[in-house]
Copies of this chain bind each other. A is one copy, B any other.
C-alpha cells in the first residue's frame, strides 16, 4: 500500500486503457496473470469502448462562463463589479458548485479576479496591464494577418465577410452593446480564420482584455473600432496583399490605443460619487 503510493508520488502514473480485441486481452491476461499484481485490468472495457465524440457535452457551467464573457465583451459588466456566488446562483438557477467552477474558469482566463475570502470581481486592468495587452497584440496580429493574406484559406474568409455584415447591421440599428462586442470579435474571428485553435484562444483572451481596457480608459465615442477599418483590412487580405493588410492592422491597433487616456482612469462602477449622487 505504501509502496504503491510511493510509485504514484514519483511518477503520477495510473493504468490507462486502449481499444483492443477481446480475445487478445484474454490471452494477455492468461499469459501474464502474475504481472497484474495489485492492479486490475478490464476485459470488456477495453474492447467495448468507442470514441464518444462528446457531442452534447456542455450544458454545464460553460453556459455561465459564456454569459459572463459576453457581458464583459459588451461592456455591460464594468470592471471591479462584484460577482457574488449567491447572486449568480439565483440568476442562473444553478447550485453553488457550478457557479464556483465557472468563476474559477473565468479567473483562469483573466476575466475576473478571485480574492480569497472576499469573492470574485470583474478584472480591472491597470496601466501596465493595458500596455502589455497592446504590446502582445501588436506582436501577434501583424504576422497573423500577413499569414492570412498569404495562405489560401478561401473558405474561412467567408466567415469574416459574414461577420462584417453583422457589424454593419448592428451599426445600422445603432445597438450599442452589439456593436461593441462584434467590433471586438472581428479580431477573434481573424484568428479563427487561421484554423489554429491556440491562436484563436490567445486572441480571444487578448480581445476580452482589450474590451475591459477600452471600457476603463476609453472615451465613450471610441468604444468601438472605427467603422470601415475592419472592412479595409479584410479587403487587403482578400486581395492577397500581406504588406497592406499588416500595415492597416497596425494603424488600426494604434487608433484604438491612442484613443485611450491612460492617466484619467474612469471608474464607472467603482466610484461612489456616481452612485450616491
Give A contacts to B, CB under 8 Å: 5, 8-18, 20, 25, 28-29, 31-32, 35-36, 41, 46, 54, 57, 68, 71, 76-78, 80-84, 87, 90-91, 101, 104-105, 108-109, 115-116, 121, 129, 132-133, 135-136, 139-140, 142-144, 147, 194, 196-199, 202, 205-206, 209, 267, 269-272, 275-277
Instruction: Please report whether the interface of chain A is mostly helix, strand, loop or mixed according to DSSP.
Output: helix
B14 touches A272 (CB 8 A): no
Contacts of A108 in B (CB 8 A): 105, 108-109
A12 touches B83 (CB 8 A): yes
Bound-complex Cα distance A121 to B8 (A)? 15
Contacts A109-B108, A135-B196, A206-B198; A272 near B28 (Cβ below 8 A): yes
Contacts of A101 in B (CB 8 A): 104
Q: How many copies of the chain does the oligomer comprise?
A: 2
- The listed residue (B57, B83, B271) touching A14 by CB distance below 8 A is B83
A84 touches B198 (CB 8 A): no
Q: How far is the CB of A275 from chain B (nearest CB, A)?
A: 7
Contacts of A144 in B (CB 8 A): 139
Bound-complex Cα distance A255 to B17 (A)? 33
Contacts A104-B101, A115-B54; A13 near B198 (Cβ below 8 A): no
Contacts of A276 in B (CB 8 A): 28-29, 31-32, 35-36, 41
Contacts of A68 in B (CB 8 A): 12
Bound-complex Cα distance A271 to B272 (A)? 62
